[in-house]
């Protein structure tokens, strides 16, 4: 963890939640944690990136999926990424970045969390090493856990130790 907290007490809700989750699942390797962040370019994942950069000393790899589907937000999110990356590298610290593209124009194609976890597994295989944490900007709904069960199953099916 970073030795110095940079967020004021009244703006720590996300940072404190992130740290609480990490305390429940500490890194098993006892080294500098390695974190994979699935970075969409939306507010949720960008806020997570900034919090990870400020609050941890993790080795961070951010992966963006340029998703072209019925929502048509792929180009806008990719444009945002190309503004976010230089800003974060200049104002916070360096981290690794990669991207991929998915084109699926057949109407509603399922849940973005499922796709994110599939790509997270592929990134993990390509990087040839484990990640201690895989983080997305998806919020777990309080009433419907089905989408997260599906995403976890996809990730576990693709994740090879």
- Between CA 138 and CA 113 the distance in angstroms is 7
Q: What percent of the chain has pLDDT over 90?
A: 24
Give per-residue pLDDT as tens, 62-104: 999 888 777 777 788 899 999 999 999 999 999 999 999 988 7
Check residue 79 and give its pLDDT.
92
CB contact at 8 A, 77 and 42:
yes
Region label for 111, one of left (φ > 0), alpha (ψ between -120 and 50) or beta (otherwise): beta
Q: Is the dihedral of CA 8, 16, 99, 28 positive or negative?
A: positive
Over range 45-53, report the average pLDDT.
90
Domains, the chain: 32-158 (3.40.50.620)
Q: Determine which of 2-11, 12-21, 61-70 has the lowest per-residue pLDDT on average.
A: 2-11
Check residue 112 and give its pLDDT.
73
Q: Which residue has the higher pLDDT, 153 or 67?
A: 67
- Between CA 110 and CA 142 the distance in angstroms is 19
Total Cβ atoms within 10 A of residue 53: 22
Check residue 140 and give its pLDDT.
56
Q: Determine which of 31-45, 62-76, 118-132, 138-152 has the lowest per-residue pLDDT on average.
A: 138-152
Check residue 71 and give its pLDDT.
73
What Rg, from alpha-carbon coordinates, does the chain have? 16
pTM reported for the whole predicted model: 0.77
Q: Which residue has the tokens 């599939």?
A: 118
- Between CA 44 and CA 33 the distance in angstroms is 21
Check residue 111 and give its pLDDT.
67
Residue 157: pLDDT above 60? Answer: no
Among candidate residues 150, 155, 111, the one with its CA nearest the CA of residue 133: 155
Q: Which residue has the higher pLDDT, 4 or 61?
A: 61
Coil, strand, or helix at residue 22? helix
């Amino acid at each position: 963890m970073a030795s110095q907290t940079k967020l004021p007490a009244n703006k720590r809700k996300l940072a404190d939640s992130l740290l609480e989750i990490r305390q429940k699942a500490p890194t098993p390797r006892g080294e500098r944690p390695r974190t994979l962040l699935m970075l969409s370019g939306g507010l949720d994942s960008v806020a997570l990136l900034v919090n990870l950069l400020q609050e941890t000393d993790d080795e961070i790899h951010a992966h963006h999926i340029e998703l072209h589907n019925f929502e048509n937000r792929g180009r806008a999110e990719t444009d945002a990424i190309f503004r976010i990356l230089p800003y974060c590298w200049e104002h916070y610290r360096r981290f690794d970045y990669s991207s991929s593209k998915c084109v699926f124009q057949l109407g509603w194609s399922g849940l973005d969390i499922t796709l994110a976890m599939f790509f997270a597994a592929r990134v993990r295989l390509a990087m040839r090493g484990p990640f201690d944490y895989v983080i997305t900007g998806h919020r777990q709904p309080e009433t419907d856990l089905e989408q997260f069960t599906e995403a976890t199953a996809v990730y576990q099916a693709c994740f090879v130790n």
